[in-house]
Amino acid sequence: MDVLAVRLSSRPLSIFVVSLLIAAAAIPQGTSAAHKKTVDQKLREESTLSTFSNLIHNNLIANHTFEVRQATIFAPTNDAFDRYPKDIEGNVVLYHMTNLAQTLDQLKDSLSSELDGNPPLWVTRQKSPDGKEDIYINNAKIIRDRSNYLAKNTHSKNQVLHVLDEVLEPVTSSVPDSPIYNPDAFLFLDKFENLELEHRLRSFRQRVQQNNKADIFKAEGRHTFFIPVDEGFKPPPRPEKIDQKVIDGHVIPNRVLFTRATPCDEDYETLAFGDNLRVTISFTVQPDGKGSKLYVKSNTIVGDPNHATGVVLAEIVKANIPVKNGVVHLIHRPLMVVDTTVKQFLESIKGIGIEKEDGPLYRFYEMIVDHGSEFMTKITKLKSLTLFAPSNSAWNNSNLNNLIHNKEKMMEILNLHLVEQRLSLDDIKDNNMKQLFQVETAAKRKNLYFNILTSNENNITLTVEGGGVNATVIQPNIAATNGLVHIIDRVLGVPYTTVYQKLETDPMLNKTFHLGQQERFNEQLNDTRKRFTYFVPRDSAWEKAEIHSPSAHKKLFMKEFSYHVKQILERHLVVDHAYNMADLMKIANSTVVLPTVRDVLKIRVKEIEKNGADTNGTGYYLEWQGERIHVFRPDVECTNGVIHVIDSALLKESDVIVTGGSMPSSLLLSPLSFLAQLVPLFIVKFLL
Ligand SMILES: *[C@@H]1O[C@H](CO)[C@@H](O)[C@H](O)[C@H]1NC(C)=O
Ligand SMILES: *[C@@H]1O[C@H](CO)[C@@H](O)[C@H](O)[C@H]1NC(C)=O
Ligand SMILES: *[C@@H]1O[C@H](CO)[C@@H](O)[C@H](O)[C@H]1NC(C)=O
Ligand SMILES: *[C@@H]1O[C@H](CO)[C@@H](O)[C@H](O)[C@H]1NC(C)=O
Ligand SMILES: *[C@@H]1O[C@H](CO)[C@@H](O)[C@H](O)[C@H]1NC(C)=O
Ligand SMILES: *[C@@H]1O[C@H](CO)[C@@H](O)[C@H](O)[C@H]1NC(C)=O
Ligand SMILES: *[C@@H]1O[C@H](CO)[C@@H](O)[C@H](O)[C@H]1NC(C)=O
């Protein structure tokens, strides 16, 4: 810089000044400690750090440090102080400095602060999505481009300034007569009455003492501790369930996890992670009425007779309390303990925590209370059940408004979310290995269909489709005594796509979609002013047609044949009316003639009798031209109609035999032609 200034000095003054400014800005801070403002001066001049500057200059020890000692200063911005709910008292500013000057790359896992007792500051390095590294001091993030300011003080001691976006909060005593300095997790729990804390921890402390587990809270090193507050120890049998293993399940060893510095939904092994019992913990964010809340969840992957498998969610009521051997988070209920029914879980989760704010399932709970008292009775009585519970934001669906006053429909929608057996993610995974897994719901004749999407071994996503809605499970396996709750991102049975969009996105309906792209057949299906009933052959229907009649099938997918394909598809589509299967059953028990786009569809609809000879299980079938066609997925509801997924196309060999000229005779269909075809030529038949 000096060289640069000399060389430029022969130039006109204005250019010199500008160049100098540019040069000064380009020199990385911290590379040269000479001829620089001291950290003290820098702090006094930075208007956005004035709050911290005042605090530190009014503190005798800190003020003196500037003059005579080495130091690293962590300065929270004024904004950080504005957000901080408390007054900064006593020596708390000393918690923001150390007696060793360290630039960012010199920071180790922990630093010793200058506060009485020298409590540690914990350092976490996190790769951010853009590849850069974020550094956290406890839960505060270092603002990189304002940090790493290195300068010598008047006694030639190195000092470094880093800027933080949050105030650091140490544990402080509330009883001046018997102060507690730098407590470890055990001392924190043992003496919480003497600390500034709005929560009581007696019940957990008692269980720790009775189970002789003090040692794990005293262990030196760097650990993460979860401590449930007293409010979380109801109902009465709960305290006894806090045994040694459960206490182990509240500690993540050898990691200090502050909430902002920890990725969500990453599993960490707890002390209860051995051959016979395996429990992990992760952090998770759940949206609520006002924004989102931070939860912690235990996942008992392998349980034993006293410890049920499954997930337990607990809201964090006070996060990020730094202690000598790590960090403590206070939670609203014990982890691992499964002692509530599904109903009790819903009741507790709707207004979880101390302030009775809205929990992650409060909208679902409201819906049940407002529209489904019978539903509540049902889930209370069931011994074994699985509930697919839509998240709060899932209910933000304008199509729901039309249904909300229809009691029968609302009851059906609720029932669609209930399966009367216990289905864990693993159960579904195992069942889905060979074939698409489906289960009956409490809604009559409505099934759920599952799919597992695997992007890698550790990341599987479960999707569930019900009533035409494809939802993703965002929180699986929440355990209750009589079953499981999976949180999903959409309300099942409340359509959100047009017939067009459904075809476009459903992998099972891909072939029909692509056939319909010819001759712009599909376009009409996006028209929300119309109503459709569309019998859609699923992909395997076309595939089996191919096996049965390769040449005919090949023609279907040839461009030259697109006009005829359009005509075939038109046979499957009823315009201006959305008939669900129950409607069709009523009108088509004996033969009904439905007006399709091109001709008419003459069908009968029958229910498959349970335990009957039919191998297709339960559901419906169509009778068309003497053939039985299984309805694989009935009542896929869309915003402008309904799709019934069928196992065979309404297709005859004659459809694709081109006679003479270019036009196949059988495609010149009229209502009468159906009668003429009572002697079917050859029917492409391919029941599963
Ligand atoms: C802080 O130190 C400076 C000298 O470095 C001194 O002038 C000032 O009075 C001190 N402030 C307090 C509050 O002691
Ligand atoms: C629902 O939508 C409204 C308005 O669009 C929005 O303010 C609210 O945050 C949403 N609620 C959830 C839980 O997503
Ligand atoms: C839901 O949609 C996804 C993506 O389109 C698909 O992979 C999955 O199979 C669908 N799930 C079900 C059960 O149909
Ligand atoms: C897991 O996979 C889903 C899609 O399959 C993807 O959206 C998500 O980002 C993946 N998550 C992780 C942590 O890899
Ligand atoms: C859907 O079908 C088209 C045409 O047959 C094919 O090109 C495409 O790969 C298929 N997509 C999927 C996801 O199967
Ligand atoms: C279908 O309609 C929706 C709105 O209802 C629109 O967003 C979408 O772009 C349309 N798609 C096509 C292919 O026209
Ligand atoms: C349908 O018809 C059969 C006789 O063909 C009769 O036994 C049955 O009750 C009818 N079902 C309905 C729902 O009308």
Going from the Cα of 349 to the center of ligand 2, the distance in angstroms, rounded, reads 19
Cα-only R_g, the chain = 34
Residue closest via CA to ligand 6's atom 1 equals 526
CB distance 657 to ligand 7 below 6 Å: no
Protein residue whose Cα sits closest to atom 13 of ligand 1? 58
Q: For ligand 5, is residue 505 a contact (CB within 6 Å)? A: no
Complete DSSP assignment for 415-428: HTTEESS---HHHH
Which backbone phi and psi does 94 adopt, to 5 degrees?
A: -70, -20
Query: Look-up: residue for tokens 């459904």?
Result: 502
List residues bridging with 631 in a β-sheet: 620, 646
Take residue 441 and report the two structure tokens written for it.
């719901």
User: Which atom of ligand 3 is nearest to 453's Cα?
Assistant: 7
Cβ 558 under 6 angstroms from ligand 5:
no
Residues pairing with 174 in the sheet:
none
Paired residues of 388 in beta bridges = 486
Atom of ligand 1 nearest to the CA of 40: 5
Ligand 1 probe mutation, 63, 64, 65, most atoms within 8 A of CB: 63
Report the relative pairing of strands 223-228 and 326-331 from DSSP bridges. parallel
- Tokens 């599993």 correspond to 267
What pLDDT shows up at residue 519?
Answer: 83
State which of 509, 514, 557 you would mutate to test the pocket of ligand 5, scoring each by most atoms of that ligand within 8 A of its C-beta: 514
Alpha helices by DSSP H, listed for 46-120, are 50-57, 60-68, 78-83
Cα distance between residue 242 and residue 233, in whole Å: 10
- 18's CB contacts (< 8 A; 6+ apart) are none
Which ligand 1 atom minimizes the distance to the CA of 59?
Answer: 13
> What burial letters (b/e) apply to 226-244, b meaning 16+ CB within 10 Å?
bbbbeebbeeeebbebbbb
Q: What is the pTM of this model?
A: 0.78
The CB density around residue 514, as the number of other CB atoms within 10 Å, is 15
User: In testing the pocket of ligand 6, which one of 397, 497, 501, 514 has its CB within 8 Å of the most ligand atoms?
Assistant: 501
CA of 159 to the centre of ligand 1 (A): 17
User: In 3-state terms, what secondary structure has residue 349?
Assistant: helix
473: buried, middle or exposed (CB in 10 Å: 19+, 13-18, 0-12)? Answer: buried
Q: Which residues touch 225 (CB under 8 Å, ≥6 apart)? A: 185, 217, 250, 251, 323, 326, 327, 328, 329
**Closest C-alpha residue for ligand 7 atom 10:** 589
Residues of the chain with pLDDT under 70: 1-35, 235, 287-291, 349-358, 434-435, 552, 588-589, 591, 597-599, 609-618, 653-688
**Looking at ligand 4, which atom is closest to the CA of residue 454?**
5
CB atoms within 10 A of CB 291: 7
Residue 266: CA count within 13 A, CB half-sphere: 8
pLDDT at 434: 64
CA atoms within 13 A on the CB side of 222: 16
Ligand 2 closest atom vs CA 289 = 13
pLDDT score of 460:
85
| Whether the CB of 393 sits within 6 Å of ligand 2 | yes
Type and span of the H or E element at 547: helix 539-548
Residues 220, 646: Cα–Cα separation, whole Å? 64
Please tell me the number of the ligand nearest to residue 60's CA.
Answer: 1
Cα 421 to ligand 3 centroid, rounded to whole Å = 23
Tokens of 666: 């059988």
Contact between 606 and 621 (Cβ < 8 Å) = yes
Question: Of all protein residues, whose CA lies closest to atom 14 belonging to ligand 3?
Answer: 465
Ligand nearest to the CA of residue 465, numbered in listed order: 3
Q: Which ligand is nearest to the CA of 267?
A: 4
Ligand 6 centroid distance, CA of 530 (Å)? 14
487 to 64, 359, 484: CA distances (angstroms): 56, 12, 10
The Cα–Cα gap between 270 and 260 comes to 20
Tell me if the bond preceding 235 is cis, omega within 30° of 0.
Answer: yes
Which two tokens mark 421? 């057996």
Q: Is 507 in the pocket of ligand 5 (CB under 6 A)?
A: yes
The residue assigned the tokens 């300034």 is 161
- 498 Cβ closer than 6 Å to some ligand 6 atom: yes
463: CA distance to ligand 3 center in Å? 6
612 CA to middle of ligand 7, Å? 16
CA distance 488 to 391: 6
Strand partners, 190: none
What pLDDT does residue 650 have?
86
Residue 251's DSSP bridge partners are 225
Residue nearest to atom 4 of ligand 6 (CA): 526
Closest-approaching ligand to the CA atom of 520:
6
Residue identifier of the C-alpha nearest atom 10 of ligand 4: 459
d(CA 283, CA 298): 9
pLDDT of residue 657: 54
Pick the atom of ligand 1 nearest to 67's CA.
5
